[in-house]
């Protein structure tokens, strides 16, 4: 049996993981998510594609989940700052965590279905339908979140569910099914046909630009789905195991708390890794990132700064031909 000092050491290690690993995931995830949003909204190629729309919305929801979920957990466990000490803050936090989390996995499920339908049922992958699906999902999960507002309260500074029936629903359906088994099943079942469809795209007689974009988005989507499966299964497995654990052994509880902390933050990497996965699997995305960062936004910033610094317009030199005046390149096929 472990000594009290050893148990304290395990709890201390879990706290350090909350602080350092948690902050690492939080910072990288927010930065990567914001970059994704900028890229997807800047490039015309992505603005016209339903799959890119799903990935952009997933990035937005991921940032929201990291702030409402991971950040508040780090404050509470890592720094002993309880952001949900008041009941109304507890209700808001619980609503946002479930809302962003469910919308994130819904967006990825829709992206996988979009890639599944890409070859034979392309008319079902329009941007208008994608916007409608996301809007419907937002309404459904908002209604679902009302129950969190009703049945969550802060008791003695601890944010918890006060309704026994709803607590059973969260324990046996919300986490293992809505956030685990159901979306993972949809993603996996749609990913294999989508992978086969991606190999067929090369033989299709379509515009080369559209072909490159479709294959790029397929690679990005399937790679992220694979990572979601890898990081979600340990968390769900540990969560289900903890549900059935009824032990008064402090040594055992300390070890399980440490395992749960590790798998929880591994799970949070699901919401933090998309930008880095896209850069790793897609050379085209890396070029697009550099183009958006330097050729679009940095150049725009420099132009605005120069405009503020110059109080008068410099006249064009006499004799300068039209060919010598730089022109804006609006026809960049890669973007």
For residue range 58-69, list pLDDT tens digits in order. 999 999 999 999
Question: For residues 260 and 123, which has the higher predicted lDDT (pLDDT)?
Answer: 260
Is the confidence at residue 20, as pLDDT, over 70?
A: yes
Contact 186, 109 (CB under 8 A): yes
Provide the 3-class DSSP secondary structure of residue 159: strand
Question: For residues 17 and 202, which has the higher predicted lDDT (pLDDT)?
Answer: 17
Q: What is the pLDDT of residue 255?
A: 87
| Least confident segment among 79-83, 139-143, 278-282, 311-315 | 311-315
Contact 32, 274 (CB under 8 A): yes
Q: What is the pLDDT of residue 309?
A: 79
| Residue 117: pLDDT band with limits 50, 70, 90 | confident
Mean pLDDT of 261-269: 93
Is the confidence at residue 321, as pLDDT, over 70?
A: no
Q: What is the pLDDT of residue 201?
A: 58
- Name every residue whose Cβ is closer than 8 Å to that of residue 16 and which is 6 or more positions away in sequence: none
CA distance 214 to 208: 10
Q: What is the pLDDT of residue 328?
A: 42
pTM of the model: 0.87
- Alpha-carbon separation of residue 294 from 236, 288, 298 (angstroms): 41, 10, 5
Query: For the chain, which residues make up each domain, given as ranges?
Result: 4-298
For residue range 49-59, list pLDDT tens digits in order. 999 999 999 99
| % of the chain residues with pLDDT over 90 | 59
Q: What is the pLDDT of residue 136?
A: 98
Mean pLDDT of 140-163: 94
Is the confidence at residue 80, as pLDDT, over 60?
A: yes
Q: What is the pLDDT of residue 329?
A: 40
Residue that is written with structure tokens 């997933």 in the block: 58
Give the chain's mean pLDDT: 85
Provide the 3-class DSSP secondary structure of residue 82: coil
Q: What is the pLDDT of residue 21?
A: 95
Q: At what angle do helices 182-201 and 87-116 cross, to 10 degrees?
A: 30
CA distance 88 to 95: 11
For residue range 21-55, list pLDDT tens digits in order. 999 999 999 999 999 999 999 998 898 899 999 99
Mean pLDDT of 133-152: 97
CATH code that applies to domain 4-298: 1.20.1070.10
Q: What is the pLDDT of residue 156?
A: 86
């Amino acid at each position: 049996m472990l000594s009290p000092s050893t148990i304290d050491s395990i709890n201390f290690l879990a706290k350090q993981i909350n602080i350092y690993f948690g902050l690492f995931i939080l910072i990288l995830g927010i930065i990567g998510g914001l970059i994704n949003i900028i890229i997807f909204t800047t490039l015309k190629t992505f603005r016209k594609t339903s799959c890119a729309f799903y990935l952009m919305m997933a990035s937005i929801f991921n940032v929201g989940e990291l702030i409402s979920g991971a950040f508040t957990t780090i404050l509470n466990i890592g720094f002993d700052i309880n952001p949900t000490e008041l009941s109304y803050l507890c209700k808001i936090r619980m609503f946002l965590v479930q809302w962003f989390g469910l919308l994130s996995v819904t967006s990825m499920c829709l992206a996988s279905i979009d890639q599944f339908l890409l070859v034979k049922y392309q008319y079902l992958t329009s941007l208008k339908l994608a916007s409608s699906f996301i809007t419907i999902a937002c309404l459904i999960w908002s209604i679902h979140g009302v129950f969190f507002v009703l049945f969550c309260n802060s008791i003695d500074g601890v944010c918890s569910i006060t309704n026994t029936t709803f607590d059973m629903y969260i324990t046996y359906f919300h986490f293992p099914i809505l956030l685990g088994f159901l979306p993972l099943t949809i993603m996996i079942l749609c990913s294999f046909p989508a992978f086969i469809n991606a190999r067929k795209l090369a033989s299709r007689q379509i515009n080369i630009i559209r072909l490159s974009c479709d294959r790029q988005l397929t690679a990005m989507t399937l790679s992220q789905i694979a990572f979601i499966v890898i990081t979600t299964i340990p968390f769900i497995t540990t969560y289900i195991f903890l549900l059935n654990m009824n032990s008064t052994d402090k040594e055992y509880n300390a070890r399980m708390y440490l395992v749960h902390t590790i798998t929880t933050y591994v799970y949070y990497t699901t919401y933090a890794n998309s930008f880095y996965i896209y850069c790793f699997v897609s050379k085209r995305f890396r070029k697009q990132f550099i183009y958006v960062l330097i050729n679009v936004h940095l150049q725009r910033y420099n132009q605005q700064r120069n405009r503020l610094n110059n109080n008068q317009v410099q006249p064009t030199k006499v004799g300068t031909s039209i060919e010598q005046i730089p022109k804006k390149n609006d026809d960049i096929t890669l973007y």
